[in-house]
Amino acid sequence: MACSATSIRQIFQSPRQKRLVTHFGGHVQANFVVTDQHEPCSTGPKGLRIVATTPRPHRSGTGIRPTPCRLRTSTREGTPAGRLPEPVDIMPPFSLLSRYFGRQFLSWFCVLLTILLMIVLVIDTVELLRRAAGKPEVTVALVLRMALFKLPGVGQQMVPFVVLFSSMFTFWRFTRSNELVVARSAGVSVWQFMAPVLFSTFMIGVLKVTVVNPLSSTLLAEYNRMEDFHLKRHNSAFDVSHSGLWVRQGSDEDKYMIHADSVVPGSGELRRVMVFRFAEHDRYVSRLDSASARLVPGNWVITDGLLREPNRPERQVSQTTIPTELTLERIEENFAPPETISFWSLRQFITIMETTGFSAIRHRLYYQSLLSQPFLYCAMVLLAATFSLRQTRRGGALWMVSGGLLTGFSLFIATDVTLTLGISEAIPVALAAWAPAFISLLLGITALLYLEDG
C-alpha cells in the first residue's frame, strides 16, 4: 500500500528533537510520511520511523472528512509491520520544552502580580490620605512611604490567587494555540508538561517564605509603628524578649515602663516586677520593685513594693495602684503580630513567649502555615489545570474564569475557617495549617486523573 504524504508538527529528543521544540518558539514545520492503517513507513529523517493508524476516509454529503491520526515514534530501524515501536522520552526534565513551559508561566505570573500590586498601592495610598486628613504633621511623602512599607505584606496574601490565575491563563493560551495538542500528539503527557510549572511554583513558594517574608515582616513592623504613632496615636506598647515582658503606657507628662520576668498563665499576675516612672521630657521620677503585681480592671495593683526616688532614701510601700486601660487580652493581642516577625526568628519568638507565660498559638499556626505554602501553590496549579486544559468552545473562557474564581474563593473561605479553628484550639495546629494545602492537592490530582486519564 502506497504512502500518502502529510504535514505534521513534531518534537524530537537529542539533536533531532530541537526541530519539534522550535515549533513553539519559531513555528517550524517538519514534513513526514504517514501510511494507511497499521502500515509502517521508513522515510522519516535520519532513521526516525513513524507508525500511524489512519482510518479510511469517511465520505459524507459534503465530501471527504479525514480523521486525525495517532502517531508513535521510534528511532529503531527495521521495526516489522504490525509491531509498535518503542516509545521515545519526548520531554526530560530541564529540556528546552520544559524551560519554555516554565518561562511562559513565570512571565505571566510576574505580569499579573505587578498589575495587582500597582492597584493595591494606589488604593492603600488613597485610604491612608483619607485617614491622614486633619493631621498636618502627616505629609504626602510619609503616606507614600507607609503605603510602600505595607505593600509586600499585602502582596504575600495575593500570591496564591496570582498563582491560580496565571496558571489558568498560561494553560489556556497553550490550549488555544494548539501547542499542548502538538506536544501531547508527540507523546508528552499532562504530567510532563505540568512538571516545569509545578517546579517553578514550588520554588516561588520557597523564595517567598525564606526571602520575601523576612523583608516583608521588617517593613510591616515599621508600618505598624508609624501607623500607631501618626494615625492611631496609641500611647501603649508591648515587647517580649529573653529578659521578660516590657509594657509602656501613659501620656507625655506621666509615663510608666513596667517590666516583669514572667506572667502567670491565664491570670493577670506578673512576677518580679519593676516600674519606672518618667515625667515630661523623659525625666526620671522613681523606680518601684515588687515580687508581684496584678492587673485588675482599670488598674495595676502592686503590693509590698520598694520605692526608690532621686535624693531620697528607699522606703517600703504596702500598695500602689497605677491607672491603666490595658487588659490581659489586649496585651496578648498587641504583642508583635506573627506577620511582623521573620520566618527565621519565629521559632525563637515562640519559645520566648511560652517561657514568659503567654500563649503563642497564633505564632505557631502562622509558622506551620508558612511551611505549607509551597505545597498550597502547587495545589493551585493542579486546580487551574482542571479548568483550562480542555479545548474551549463558545462561552468556555467565561466558564473557566468563573470556575477559577469560585475555586479561589472557596479555598480562601476553607483556609480561613481551619485557621480560626486552629487559633481556638478546636483542632491541632498542624492539622489547621496543613489541611488546606493537602486537601487541595488531593482534589487537584483526582480531578486531573479523572479528566485526563479516565
pLDDT of residue 250: 77
Q: Which residue(s) pair with 180 in the sheet?
A: none
pLDDT at 330 over 90: no
pTM: 0.70
pLDDT band at 62 (very low <50, low <70, confident <90, very high): very low
* Domain residue extents for the chain: 4-74, 91-236+337-454, 237-333
At 358, list the grid cell.
Answer: 503567654
At 303, list the grid cell.
Answer: 503590693
Helix (H, G, I), strand (E, B) or coil at 146: helix
| 8-state DSSP, 249 | E
The CA–CA distances, whole Å, from 417 to 273, 403, 427, 435 equal 39, 21, 11, 11
Q: What residue type is assigned to position 168 of the chain?
A: M
Distance CA 446, CA 181 (A): 22
Mean pLDDT of 377-393: 82
Distance CA 302, CA 286 (A): 14
pLDDT at 61 over 60: no
Q: Chain-wide mean pLDDT for the chain?
A: 77
Lowest-pLDDT range of 139-153, 239-253, 281-295, 430-444? 239-253
* pLDDT tens per residue, range 400-428: 778 778 888 888 899 999 999 998 889 99
Lowest-pLDDT range of 147-156, 358-367, 402-411? 402-411
CB atoms within 10 A of CB 252: 11
Q: What residue type is assigned to position 49 of the chain?
A: R
* pLDDT tens per residue, range 219-240: 998 998 898 888 877 655 666 6
What residues contact 251, with CB distance under 8 A and at least 6 apart? Answer: 235
Given the C-alpha cell 479545548, which residue does it identify? Answer: 391
Looking at the chain, the whole-number percentage of residues with pLDDT higher than 70 is: 73
pLDDT of residue 234: 63
pLDDT at 192 over 90: no
Lowest-pLDDT range of 31-40, 205-214, 443-452? 31-40
The answer to whether the CB of 285 falls within 8 A of the CB of 278 is yes
Mean pLDDT of 192-196: 88
pLDDT of residue 150: 95
| 8-state DSSP, 210 | I
CA 445 to chain CA centroid, Å, is: 19
pLDDT at 68 over 70: no
For residue 164, give the nearest of 111, 201, 218, 122 by alpha carbon: 201
